[in-house]
Amino acid sequence: MDRLAERGLTTGEVAERVARGQVNEVRRRSSRSLWAIIRANVLTLFNGVIAALWALIMIFGQWQDGLFGLVIVANSAIGIVQELRAKRTLDRLAVVNEAPVRVRRDGVDVEIPPHRIVLGDLILLGPGDRLLVDGEMIGSDGLEVDESLLTGEADPVHKAPGDQVLSGSFAVAGTGCHVATRVGGDAYAARLAEEASKFNLSHSELRAGITRFITYITWLVIPIGALLVWSQLKEADDFGQAITGAVAGIVTMIPEGLVLMTSIAFAVGVVRLGRRHCLVQELPAIEVLARVDVLCLDKTGTLTAGGMSLGEVRPLRDDLPVRDALGALANLDRDPNPTVQAIRAEHPGPSGWTPTAKVPFSSARKWSGAEFSGQGAWVLGAADVLLTPGTPAYAEADELAATGLRVLALGRAASLRDPDDLGPVEAAAIVVLKQRIRPEAAQTLRYFAEQHVTIKVISGDNPESVSAIATSLNIPGAEHALDARTLPENDPGKLAEILDANTVFGRVTPQQKRLFVGALQSRGHTVAMTGDGVNDVLALKDADLGVAMGSGSGATRAVAQVVLMNDDFSSLPSVVAEGRRVLANIERVSSLFLTKTFYALVLSLLTGVIGFAFPFAPRHSTLVNALTIGIPAFFLALAPSNERARSGFVPRVLRLAIPAGVVCAIAVYLSYLLAQNGGSSLAENRTAAVITLFITTWWVLVLIARPYVWWRIALVAAMAALFALAVTVPFSREFFALAPGDLGDDLVAVAVGLLASAVLTAVFKIVRSSDGTVVHNGPAATLRS
């Protein structure tokens, strides 16, 4: 073991293990295989049903009535292409996001990608490092590992040589090294991930809602479709005509494009965010973005830039070696944090200061320290933790912190034997560090205020320092900061009440951050959490949406659903806006697709009960659906939107789609019956029904497409113009079997359509009013979906 700790594996040993396949190959959670994408877009229940119906039309009907089969092919192809684009974007960003692993090979410490770890590699650990493989410790210098993501145990675990470590945990303090004993799919975290989920790890209300739609529709289509087939076979003189009428009804019942549009919206969202250097590691995270109403920010690395500089050192005692002690402590760690780096840059390590014991820094303790031979025990950490309240030194540090500076204290302790009970500290100096506020922070915070997203600043720093920075950014309520050490931890209700009433919190421990997230969620909030340090990992994992900085620790980036690769805090509004765009637009197009489904269900039910021929052929439904749903839905699904999502997606869509579908169906059947009574041919009767169908469904599009901007007006106008061309141009009229020969029937059809449109407008207003939204009619109006 000693020889292995000195040199690690040799190049030859690594090559042997690679040849045997003993490498850390694990599929990324942000991506899925080409076959999985093809299967999801092609091998679906609805596609199978439509393929069977298309085959029936090809055998018994005319090929023009089989156009709906080409639509399915086009839909599947578009879905596959868009998801492949998203996959490439995700895979490219995921490679950049992977934190390199430090290993020792041939006696040299090198950084390698995680997938190049082999069985038996010697892996080096420092604060913030994520354990990617299982292993056995062979060296530890105060190493503490947080295993809470695996075991639920909140307290870090001290690791000594011989102890086992599991992938999925992360180092929070100290340094050490371990030998990889299980890699790839054999590692503990990989096995857990395989059991839990293969791709989408977050709950998606949107996808769950669409699954419910499909379940409802399937149960309705089966009996109504059977009734329709029976009635068409019973009444029709021609078997081919009976099959054509039945297929027209069943095909129209199926919302085949709804799942496709959802997939496309998600995929395009991933690509758009990728262009802004945002890695989405779980696709439903895009949806959660739209629902966020509380954003918890960590000060350091989010509101302030990651680095800092040493401002000044104020000695409190002239008889103590302040600068030597500061230099000795700052040069102990092989992997220093930004605070220690700033001190180390100004204070090199002194000679003669030999450490005999060390306590590494941890976010829970807020200090680090060491005992030096002949120099005693020295500690460096948060001033309000190490200094005694009421002393001049404490007051001076508090005054400096109130200006937004980061203030540390250097002191001497009697002993470091029990880090959890340090005892009194003899103050030696105050260390002042300068922090730089991100220039884009103020504008970003203003955006969230305008969008009614509540900001909570949660930091491990001094409350006064956090308050000063938050106040400078005009965060409401920032002038009153709370010290988290005074908050109740065993009374979740009281804690949630305090969190709702206050904005800025300092001296928050990692475990408290996690409690804060849970308390806010208990009040019905959808919580997003940003962070970059190892102390943010637990809260990021529990938040509805975890957002990590690209320069943050590997553990932080691993658990977050979204990673800001370029550390640009100002990209957060774009991230939230993308989520709102996806969810609001999918709700909008869902109303279109399900209106079609419900008018087809009602028409099929009426046809089955009354016993007439179905009011239109498959080619008619293909034409109308393409112009009022398929083409417009593609544009509407990708349109910009800032509407914050609300829960209740399924009932809200059904409240609009069911009555709208019923009105459309009744209008179409009325028009069809009136034409039949006039003694017209079947083709002329169906043409009258198609005219009414287009007018009513086009008007549903007009209502749903609001608010009106130039391109939406152009879109709905173009759809009307295309239908007019289809009716008037001889070739298209023949192709789509349209026969507008009876002017009286056609005028009646238009009148019925206009009357139904007026009823639809009233239905739309009633439904939107019951949803608590206001419908505006002006061109600059905003419709909250």
Closest CA to 127 of 405, 416, 340: 340
Other beta carbons within 10 angstroms of residue 521's beta carbon come to 16
Three-state SS sequence of 453-473: CEEEEECCCCHHHHHHHHHHC
How far apart, in whole angstroms, are the C-alpha atoms of residue 759 and residue 374? 91
Strands 170-182 and 122-125: antiparallel
* Two structure tokens written together for 711: 């391109």
Distances from the Cα of 194 to the Cα of 66, 94, 436, angstroms:
42, 19, 42
What is the rounded end-to-end Cα distance, in angstroms, of the chain? Answer: 64
Phi then psi for residue 776, to 5 deg, are -105, 155
- Provide the 10 A C-beta neighbour count for residue 677: 10
Please report, for the chain, how many H helices and E strands are present, in that order: 29, 21
Q: Are 283 and 90 in contact (CB under 8 A)?
A: no
Q: Are strands 504-506 and 278-280 parallel, antiparallel or unpaired?
A: unpaired
Catalytic hit among 129, 134, 298, 544: 298
The string of DSSP codes covering 8-24 is -B-HHHHHHHHHTT-B-
How many angstroms separate the CA atoms of 95 and 80, rounded? Answer: 22
- Is residue 398 helix, strand or coil? helix
206 in Cβ contact with 287 (< 8 Å): yes
Q: How many Å apart are CA 371 and CA 378, to the nearest integer?
A: 6
Kindly calculate the radius of gyration of the chain based on its CA atoms and give it in whole angstroms: 33
Q: What is the DSSP string of 454-520?
A: EEEEE-SS-HHHHHHHHHHTT-TTTTSEEEGGGS-SS-HHHHHHHHHH--EEES--HHHHHHHHHHH
Q: Specify the pairing of strand 481-483 against strand 454-458.
A: unpaired
Compute CA 449 distance to the chain's CA centroid, rounded to the nearest angstrom: 21
Exposed/middle/buried for residue 624 (C-beta within 10 Å: 0-12, 13-18, 19+): buried
Measured between alpha carbons, how far is 736 from 742 in angstroms, rounded to an integer? 17
In DSSP terms, 152 is beta-bridged to: none
HEC per residue, 658-678:
HHHHHHHHHHHHHHHHHHHHC
Can 298 be counted among the known catalytic residues?
yes
Give the list of residues 6+ apart from residue 740 with CB closer than 8 angstroms, or none: 684, 687, 691, 727, 733, 746
CB 422 within 8 A of CB 379: yes
**Lookup result for tokens 């901007």:** 709
Residue among 527, 532, 507 at smallest CA distance from 517: 527
Identify the H or E element spanning 132: none
Mapped onto helix, strand or coil, the DSSP state of residue 102 is strand
Angle at 691 between CA 690 and CA 694, to 5 degrees: 80
CA distance linking residue 672 with residue 678, whole number of Å? 10
483 phi/psi in degrees, rounded to 5: -85, 115
φ and ψ at residue 564, rounded to 5 degrees: -85, 95
Of 709, 722, 725, nearest in space to 636 by CA? 709
The catalytic residues are 298
